A and B are shown apart, each in its own frame.
Chain A
Amino acid sequence: MNKSQVKLEEIMPALQGVIPSIVATSSLDHIPNVTYISQIYYVDTNHVALSYQFFNKTIKNVRENPVLVAILTCPVHYSLYKMTLRYQESQTSGEIFDNMSMQLDALAISQKKEHIFKLRAADIYEVISIIHV
């Protein structure tokens, strides 16, 4: 096992959405795409979730090429972590979806914007590797 491999539980602060994460994807014709994402959600020891609110290039790339690489910043130590993920499935119900949806609702309701922000799905990713950058 690679000594620099980090466990998901060790970087929980980085999964709270305090500092947005950067995600990079690639289309099948080798064009890279990079964008910010508000939060990567902890699911379990080997999985995380990303929110799918509206269709974009990242979603399009991942649907054809399931590899996504994210850079997370820990808001406590400001360490950077590179997380390689593989897209597994989209969930539109269940505990993960409900928790993510509730967090979004809690924010949106406080601004009376619940009609605008609705979670369409929770995209579940398998964690391939995490390294400290």
Chain B
Amino acid sequence: MSALETEKLSSLLAESNRKMEIFRKVSFELNKLVSLPEKLQTILAILDEQFGMANSLILIPDDERQMLTVFAGHGYDSSIIGQQVAFGQGLIGLAAVRKRHINLTGIRRKQHYLATVSNEGDLNFVKPIGLTDAESQVAIPLLANDELVAVLMAESRSFCVYDQSDENFLITLAQPLAVSIQNSMLYDSMEKKIKERTAELQHLNKTKDKFFSIISHDLRGPVTSFQSLARLFSYYNQEGQSDKIEDLCSKVEQSVDTLNHLLDNLLDWSLSQTNGIQCSFEIIPLREFIQTIADIYLPNVTAKEIEFTLEVNDGICIRGDRHTLATVFRNLISNAIKFTPRRGSIRILAAVENEKVRIELRDTGVGMDCGRLLNAFQLQGQRSTFGTEKEKGTGLGLVLVKEFTELNEGTITIQSDPGTGTLVTLLLPQGTSPR
């Protein structure tokens, strides 16, 4: 064997060893338990150190296969992370679409030549994502099971040239890189799903806790009342005080109403949490609807000498689910009565506005401070509050009102000032009868 041949073989062997070393280092990094961006940054640094790839990027495709986003970069400033390239655009986009590697050298001369030959005037380059004056670029699609996982792109300002064996080496390296990226992304995706499920479970848990809290505290009141009332019934009966029994009957009725109301709300709320509510939309004449509900509370209104007015034209109709909207108005009216002091007033007005019906419920009640207003529609931290004459609630009322208003494609806002009163505004879809 001649000296030249020996030298050639030695050179080939050294090259082979160098590439094996790169492989070893890259494999070591791929097996580390670190975040994917960190892993990829390290690998790009190895490729620079060992392979002379001073500028390189790894881009990940989106789910729709429309855009590729820079996930890791080496040799650029940090602002390159997150930049995007469309599929089919430039070297990177083309490699992604065709799932084939591309190696270009002498880019600027070739582009200048094309621009001159096309005779279409000034050079009109699409601004590249990396170096604007790259002379050499190689883009290698990273595939796992023939699916595009990422694109590795390296570029240089010099006419550095990757020979066939360099190209083949990078393509071989692409395989474990692709699998590692895919595994990391699957892992991240599963972690995200687990977090979402955990949050969902935590929410359901809180709901359950609230549910039991309501059952244990809020319903006990009326039940305890019944116990007391039962004892009083027995006592007055024994004493022959039938007039007092008459009084007790109205108290029983009151307690039953309260209990009913509480149970209705509780049932509705639990159904809404388990997506058990089935809405059936219909055209509802508004005045008649609100009047029917308001009539339930006539005794309460009369007892507190509250002035209750309904200013709704007969022609106004809303479109919604009767049952859930009844819950909305029941709670709003019941709240208004509860928090309006003796001889106060409650006004309900309605007007049509751009195919919506604006319903205003205005009371001269105690109002709410900022803190309460902010948390009015929040379940967490709800505390049931007593009315002006010690009327009881569960704290579920406004939570339900908001949920059910939105179920009916409506919106709700509350304005309130302590001592001045509260204005509740609902916007619901207008109901129009088919012609």
- Is there an interface contact between A98 and B100, defined as CB atoms closer than 8 Å? yes
Q: Which of A12, A75, A102 has the most CB of B within 10 A?
A: A102
CB–CB B118/A102 < 8 A? no
Assembly CA distance A110 to B115 (angstroms): 11
1/0 per position for B99-137, CB-CB distance to A under 8 A?
010111111011101110010100111101000000100
Distance between A117 CB and nearest chain B CB, rounded to angstroms? 6
Q: Which of B89, B100, B105, B118 contacts A18 (CB 8 A)?
A: B105
A116 to B88, CA, bound (A): 17
B195 in contact (CB, < 8 A): no
Contact mask A58-80 → B, CB, 8 Å, 1/0? 00000000000000000110000
Q: Is the CB of A106 within 8 A of B102?
A: yes
With A38-B110, A113-B120, A116-B118 given, is the CB distance from A106 to B104 under 8 Å?
Answer: yes
Task: Chain B residues near A18: list those with CB within 8 A.
Answer: 105-106, 109, 135, 159, 161
Segment from B90-98, B268-276, B364-372 that makes contact with A: B90-98
Residues of B within 8 A of A16 (CB): 103, 105-106, 159, 161
Bitwise interface map of B from 59 to 98 toward A, beta carbon under 8 Å scored 1, else 0: 0000000000000000000000000000011110110001
Q: How many residues of A contact B (CB 8 A)?
A: 28
Asked if B163 lies at the interface with its beta carbon under 8 angstroms from chain A, I say yes
Most chain B beta-carbon neighbours within 10 Å: one of A18, A75, A99, A108 = A18
Interface string of A1-35 (1 = CB under 8 A from B): 00000000100110011111000000000000000
| Complex interface: chain B residues within 8 A of A75 (CB) | 106, 159, 161
A42 at the binding interface (Cβ < 8 Å): yes
The answer to whether A17 touches B105 (Cβ under 8 A) is yes
CB distance from B186 to the nearest CB of A (A): 30
**Alpha-carbon gap, A127 to B124, bound state (A):** 38
Known pairs A16-B161, A113-B114; A107 contacts B104 (CB<8 A): yes
Nearest CB in chain A: distance from B167 CB, A: 10
Q: Would B114 and A117 count as touching, CB distance under 8 A? A: yes
Chain A residue at minimum C-beta to C-beta distance from B90? A110
B98 — nearest CB in chain A belongs to which residue? A102
Cβ contact within 8 Å between A76 and B161: yes
Taking a contact as CB atoms under 8 Å apart, the answer to whether A103 and B90 are in contact is no
A103 to B137, CA, bound (A): 11
Contact of B238 with A by CB under 8 A: no
Assess the B123–A19 pair: CB atoms within 8 A. no
- CA A117 – CA B128 in complex, angstroms? 20
Q: Which of A9, A76, A110, A112 contacts B128 (CB 8 A)?
A: A110
Say how far B138's CB is from chain A's closest CB, in angstroms: 11
CA distance A9 to B135 in the complex (A): 22
Q: How far is the CA of A51 from the CA of B118 in the complex (A)?
A: 17
CA distance A16 to B156 in the complex (A): 14
Q: Is B100 touching A99 in the complex (CB atoms < 8 A)?
A: yes
B193-227 vs A, CB cutoff 8 Å, 1 = contact: the mask equals 00000000000000000000000000000000000
B164 at the interface (CB under 8 A from A): yes
The residue in chain A whose Cβ has the minimal distance to the Cβ of B163 is A12
Cross-chain contact of B164 among A9, A19, A76, A106 (Cβ < 8 A): A9
Q: Using CB atoms, name the residue of chain B closest to A116.
A: B118
- A83-123, CB under 8 A of B: which get 1 and which 0? 00000000000000011001101111111110011000000
Is A111 touching B106 in the complex (CB atoms < 8 A)?
A: no
Q: Which of B218-271 contact A (CB under 8 A)?
A: none
Q: By the criterion CB–CB under 8 Å, are B102 and A102 in contact?
A: yes
Q: CA–CA, A109 to B98, complex, Å?
A: 14
Q: Which of A17, A19, A102 contacts B100 (CB 8 A)?
A: A102
Residue of B with least CB distance to A75: B159
Q: Which residue of B lies closest to A14 (CB)?
A: B161
- Within the complex, what minimum Cβ distance (angstroms) separates A76 from chain B? 7
Q: Are B88 and A110 in contact (CB under 8 A)?
A: no
The residue on B at minimum CB distance from A44 is B164
Residues of chain A with a CB closer than 8 A to B90's CB: 106, 109-110
Measured between beta carbons, the chain A residues less than 8 angstroms from B106 are 16-19, 75
Say which residue of B91, B114, B128, B161 sits within 8 Å of A13 (CB atoms). B161
B163 touches A102 (CB 8 A): no
Complex A-B, nearest 5 residue pairs according to Cβ-Cβ distance, in ascending order:
A18-B106, A16-B105, A106-B91, A12-B163, A13-B161
> Could you list 26 examples of A-B contacts with CB < 8 Å?
A9-B164, A16-B161, A17-B110, A38-B113, A98-B98, A98-B100, A99-B100, A102-B98, A103-B102, A106-B91, A106-B102, A107-B104, A107-B107, A107-B114, A109-B88, A110-B111, A110-B125, A110-B128, A111-B123, A111-B124, A111-B126, A112-B124, A113-B114, A113-B118, A113-B120, A116-B118
